[in-house]
Amino acid sequence: MLPQLEYAAIMDLSHPIASVVPTLDGPVLEALSRTTMPLTGRQVHRMAGSGSEAGVRKVLGRLASHGLVNVTPAGGSLLYTANRDHLAWPAVEILTAMRLELFERLRERFGAWDPLAVHASLFGSAARKDGGPGSDVDLLVVRPEACAEDSEPWAGQVDQLRADVQARTGNPCQVFQLDLPQLQRHIAASDPLVSEWRRDAITLHGESLDAVLAQVDDSPTAS
């Protein structure tokens, strides 16, 4: 009998390209994808935020040998740019844009809900880009007051959301859901989570979190 192997299917949401390109090539390609300006090896290293400068230069040389990077002499330096005409570059762009693609998929998902959420946003390490492989995808969802947390079809939508995120990324999805009165109570209690939401939230559906919080603060029952 073959031994059973367990794999943790997880994505580094700060650098999703690492799921496919786990070497220093990934951060270098990410850096080059963010600009069309010619960069020195030192600048690429600074933007990549990974490896050593010597290691980044070796990667640039290897990518240039495959035609993915253009190299131009400039005085005593070499300047590097991505070769966006390369047949492989569209695949690179897909890999470097996976984080934004996740956001778009989530926006589509929330836009198709019935009933709709009042607000939905990403927060936590996935929003700050300081997590690592296996970090949770943390979502804040403000539901309509008419919807109880366990009512259908609301509860089914939330369960499906968790399953979809884990299927698309491999990462656990934590949904922090509450209605406006509950949100108001968190504000009144000076819950530290509210400060984290204010600082990190990336809006995925509805008005911005600041606008929602302002409405709650201005409501007649606010303390």
Helix/strand/coil (H/E/C) assignment for every residue in the chain: CCCCCCCCCCCCCCCHHHHCCCCCHHHHHHHHHCCCCCECHHHHHHHHCCCCHHHHHHHHHHHHHCCCEEEEEECCEEEEEECCCCCCHHHHHHHHCHHHHHHHHHHHHHHCCCCCCCEEEEECHHHHCCCCCCCCEEEEEECCCCCCCCCCCHHHHHHHHHHHHHHHHCCCEEEEEECHHHHHHHHHCCCHHHHHHHHHCEEEEECCHHHHHHHHHHCCCCC
Rounded to whole angstroms, the Cα distance separating 115 from 132 reads 33
In degrees to the nearest 10, what's the CA dihedral of 125, 129, 135, 140?
40
CB 38 within 8 A of CB 81: yes
**What superfamily in CATH does domain 101-218 come from?**
Beta Polymerase, domain 2 (3.30.460.10)
Q: Is the pLDDT of residue 221 over 90?
A: no
Bigger pLDDT: 15 vs 164 = 164
Average pLDDT, the chain: 90
Q: Is the pLDDT of residue 40 over 80?
A: yes
Please tell me the predicted confidence (pLDDT) of residue 174.
95
> Please, what is the Cα angle at 138 between 18 and 124, to 5 degrees?
75
Please tell me the predicted confidence (pLDDT) of residue 220.
53
Length of the chain: 223
122 closest CA partner among 169, 156, 180, 191: 169
pLDDT tens for 98-120 read 889 999 999 999 999 999 999 99
Please tell me the predicted confidence (pLDDT) of residue 5.
42
Class of domain 16-94: mainly alpha
Please tell me the predicted confidence (pLDDT) of residue 131.
74
Please tell me the predicted confidence (pLDDT) of residue 64.
97
Each domain of the chain, given as residue ranges in start order, spans 16-94, 101-218
Please tell me the predicted confidence (pLDDT) of residue 219.
56
Angle, helix 41-48 to helix 25-33, in steps of 10 degrees: 100
Average pLDDT over residues 43-69: 96
Tracing tokens 């108001």 back to the chain, one arrives at 184
- On the question of a common fold for 16-94 and 101-218, the answer reads no
pLDDT tens for 158-217 read 999 999 999 988 889 999 999 999 999 999 999 999 999 999 999 999 999 999 998 887
pLDDT tens for 116-172 read 999 999 999 889 888 777 788 999 999 999 899 999 999 999 999 999 999 988 889
Please tell me the predicted confidence (pLDDT) of residue 16.
79
Please tell me the predicted confidence (pLDDT) of residue 15.
78
> Under the phi-then-psi rule, with left for phi > 0, alpha for psi from -120 to 50, and beta for the rest, what region is 10?
beta
Rounded to whole angstroms, the Cα distance separating 68 from 66 reads 6
